[in-house]
Copies of this chain bind each other. A is one copy, B any other.
């Protein structure tokens, strides 16, 4: 490997300046679920790309726009980098120690909604590009950025965008939006993502809320209808009861279990970090827990909403009730198929009054752990991190890697500065600045070596 001391020294010297750019980026709210600040944020992304000599454009979709950027380099090879500029809603606000859209640096960490997921991952990679341009005045290979604004709402329009721009997005390999180290500080190579099917179930049983003394004995109650409908979806044993739900599931292979075995035990860490008293399904830890965590599909209630929720009591019979439900899918389940089966099942169970709103979905997808690009990422990490990078065949989260893997036909790798207490999707989301710098150093090496 080349000597990277000049690049590293640039990155160390210019870190504070680069973080100012990140602060500005995080301070711009961009909550896709609430359509808040999306255009403003896309403009900031375009500016950041243009600052590095990329030709950049804001490209319309049927939802939030995609920012595309491209800069040619010396070699013919093309690296595609995927990021997103949207963030999760910041609620519940009262649990934040500093306001979610006023980035705050404390004890070597930066706090803010979206700082980890995924705004800093873009700025760290741009920072790596800065170091290379400073040294060489040009890029060693072509780099393309695709930065979408709907990742947190299941990337509703990204698949279409990719199918409509296959030539533009043509590349040899892809770096995914995130990555990071585990609780041992070991960098992880996540090679697959679960799919998702996110729905909202709504019942409207009356035209108006009614005094519970009046209607309780004779009127249909939306909250009860919802509870009964939800109850049919999953048993107390956590088995999902929708007929055919498990039909297309590809169970983990022996090789998958081998990879999972090599990963450290997570049971104690989860118990401490999340206050888990007992895992479900009688799981105790070990490989079984690790395999179950990612290789089984889920049916998670993400939210319940009906009637009165304030302090004390209000005697009301609610006209309306809704639940947000998130199905995580494993290879080879398809969200459209699950949606169809859910509708048929609710109808069959007598719950035609339960309306389903589809908030988006995507199938699972995986990259072959033996692809040479995976090896490149693992090898270049050795120079930056104290421990060798470890391969994880599939993780529990979702993302739109399916069209990258199956339409663009690219190996998709992860790298980044996530860490176990990064609190993505939760209050007090944060990044560790030491890991941020390591990610930039790693990215500078990846770009350089990939070009060769």
Contact = CB atoms under 8 A, between A and B. Distances in A.
Contacts of A213: 194, 196, 328, 395-398
A309 B35 CA distance: 15
A216 B396 contact: yes
Interface in A262-287: 270, 274-281, 283
A301 interface: yes
Given A219-B280, A274-B219, A308-B89, A314 B318 contact: no
A229 to B, nearest CB: 9
A209 to B, nearest CB: 5
A216 B298 contact: yes
Interface stretch (A122-130, A244-252, A289-297): A289-297
Interface string A309-348: 1111111111101111010100000000000000000000
A297 B217 CA distance: 7
B304 A321 contact: yes
A276 B319 CA distance: 10
Interface string A165-183: 0000000000000000000
Contact of A218 (B32, B280, B395, B397): B280
Given A278-B220, A314-B324, A306 B308 contact: no
Given A194-B213, A214-B396, A304-B226, A220 B313 contact: no
Nearest to A305: B309
A371 interface: no
Given A227-B227, A280-B219, A303-B223, A91 B298 contact: no
Contacts of A211: 397, 424-426
A276 B222 CA distance: 11
A403 interface: no
Interface stretch (A48-56, A77-85, A230-238): A230-238
Interface residues of A, number: 93
Contacts of A219: 270, 274, 276, 279-280
A359 interface: yes
A204 B396 CA distance: 23
A247 to B, nearest CB: 18
Contact of A220 (B33, B212, B276, B303): B276
A430 interface: no
Contacts of A153: 312-313
Contacts of A388: none
A154 B313 contact: yes
B208 A426 contact: yes
Nearest to A228: B236
A310 B200 CA distance: 11
- Report, nearest first, the 3 A-B pairs whose CB atoms are least far apart: A207-B275, A213-B397, A33-B312
Given A208-B426, A216-B298, A304-B305, 20 more contacts: A33-B312, A33-B314, A34-B311, A89-B310, A194-B213, A211-B425, A212-B302, A217-B297, A217-B298, A217-B396, A218-B283, A219-B270, A219-B276, A220-B277, A223-B302, A227-B231, A301-B306, A303-B314, A313-B359, A315-B326
